[in-house]
Amino acid sequence: MTGLMLSVLFIMSSCTEKEDFIPEPTPTCVSISGIVTTSSGQPLANIPVFVDYYEAYWLGPQTTIHKAKGTTDINGRYRLFFEPEVDIESENRKPSRAYLLYADLSELKSEEYIMPGDFADNDEKVYRLDMYGSIDKGDNLEINLYFPKKKEMMTELKNFVSEKRLVVTNTLVYGAQNSVIDRNVELDSKGNGCVIIPCALKETNQLSVRVVNGFSDVCSPKQLIVDDNSESYIIFDNMEVLEKCRFKLSLYSHASFNGEEYGDDAAFSTPAPFDFIGFRIVRPDGAYEIMDMSRYQYYDSIVWSEPDQPETFRVFDKSTYESGSENHFTAQWGSYFFKEGVHKSILSGYRNGKVVFADSIDFELKDRDFLCFDWNRFDGETNLGMVHDIYCRFNSFYEYRVSADKDKNGDKSVNVYVEFHDNWPKDVILNWEQTRLEQLLWEHIGHWIEYDSSDVRELFSRLPADDDPGKLYENETTRAIVLYSPATEYEEEYYYIHAEPK
């Protein structure tokens, strides 16, 4: 015989069941009485009711004692009486003990009455009330039981695109207390679904919608009294909630790479690569709320993204801990962008892993003479001699440093360096720098051109003397070259772009 079979036999042999009825009340007996009714207070006659005493020790013996039994009369009344068990300890251990009041509803039609099985979605027809409190000799308890008639109601959910799986709950009075009927709802791709749920006829039903295994409602509950003439549909439409938490993505300004705003100058109304682009999250009417987060509390997070880009940026993030919750909110933010052309920015609100609401804007970047630089308005675009980091929030792998300068003769130049963060071998880094800079020039100026290296310094007025020239690029206004800077006593070797007006 296996160990598992021995264990099962041991458990079965440790369970005992016996009767302890008394024929009539005594001065020390416990009396439980009440009335059993259905909808509109109608009495339920001939309902068997009984009391059991249950006692169990952890990994020890279990005992069930049948203490009293009876039947409701024509008025639905019942009375049970029994001698209470003595509360004793065994081997310094206290047992788990309870008195259980039962009502057998087997004679009622399950299609007409709410049954105990409706709460667990099974066929159970015996109601049980656990009485864990202390019951003493001579106690007189009044426990009225209520078993309402039933009407099946189709509950329809609309526009719950934020939720994975939902549960519809109906809280109603049943037996001697409030009880809850749950029914899971599977949503389609549009966030719609439906389920049938039992409701108490001619009594108050409190219906709500929650996430499966969650505790808070995802929309306002409905309280209704169902009668024979009630429509068979109950509709929860989440659109009202969604309307209250809608938002817009706003493109509010752009500025030169060092943060200097262009203002209202029509020549700079279209931003360029390496300009700083500012964004805001605003209300649907365009109003900007820098401090108010109430509109966004419905979401778990609000995420800014761009198609085909590897990274995202969280504008709103809600974290919940055992001790409370914490919110992070950025009402205004910005980024640089590296490529010309039309960009699509998307702001998406997430809840339980799904996008609830999203808004997007398209904006175009156009090259000026060289990236964001206009050689004729050089002074207005930059604080000369400044070195600034150019980053994109959607792709942290690429980052540049840019410097712009003009000497006393009025000669202008811009240098572009690659900012590198990984711990690669130096030869790999150099190859990557050169390749990335050549790609940047090819994207914004075009294909490199042939030239005589002995004449290269005649093409540029500010070309550093010690740096080795690489590929040369030209357009109508700009001449740019990739340079190699050898290692010195103070810094390692690197590649960079040097650009000047033609």
How is 74-88 classified by DSSP, letter by letter? TTSEEEEEEPPPP--
Q: What is the pLDDT of residue 92?
A: 63
| Cα 218 to the center of its chain, rounded Å | 12
How far is 419 from 398, CA to CA, in rounded Å?
7
Closest by Cα among 413, 412, 342, 375 to 267:
375
- pLDDT of 8 reads 44
Rounded to a whole number of angstroms, the distance between the first and last alpha carbons of the chain is: 97
Q: 367 pLDDT exceeds 70?
A: yes
Instruction: Identify which has the larger pLDDT, 167 or 59.
Output: 167
Q: pLDDT per residue over 479-499, tens digit each?
A: 999 999 999 888 899 999 999
**pLDDT, tens digit, 9 for 90 and up, residues 63-97:** 999 999 999 999 999 999 999 988 765 556 677 88
Q: Distance (Å, rounded) from C-alpha 41 to C-alpha 60? A: 44
Separation CA 480–CA 413 (nearest Å): 10
Q: CA geometry: angle at 39 spanning 35 and 43, to 5°?
A: 35
Q: What secondary structure letter does DSSP report for 94?
A: P
Within 224-354, residue ranges assigned H as helices are: 239-244
User: What SS3 state is found at 418?
Assistant: strand
Please say whether the beta carbons of 387 and 404 come within 8 A. Answer: no
Q: Kind and range of the H or E element at 471?
A: strand 468-474
Please name the residues in contact with 385: beta carbons below 8 A apart, sequence gap of 6 or more. 403, 404, 405
237-256 per-position pLDDT tens digit: 988 888 888 999 998 887 76
Which of 261, 216, 224 is closest to 241 using CA atoms? 216
Q: How confident is the model at residue 470 (pLDDT cuts 50, 70, 90)?
A: very high
Q: How does pLDDT run across 190-246, given as a tens digit for each residue?
A: 889 999 999 999 999 999 998 887 777 778 899 999 888 877 789 999 888 888 889
Q: Which two tokens stand for residue 288?
A: 């900007």
Provide the pLDDT confidence category of residue 351 given band limits of 50, 70 and 90.
confident
User: Using one digit for the tens of pLDDT, what is the confidence trace for 324-342?
Assistant: 668 899 999 999 999 999 9
What integer pLDDT is reported at residue 43 of this predicted model? 97
Residues in Cβ contact with 78 at an 8 Å cutoff, skipping those fewer than 6 apart: 33, 34, 35, 36, 47, 49, 70, 71, 72
Distances (CA, A) of 31 to 34, 75, 81: 10, 19, 4
What is the predicted pLDDT for the residue at 268?
59
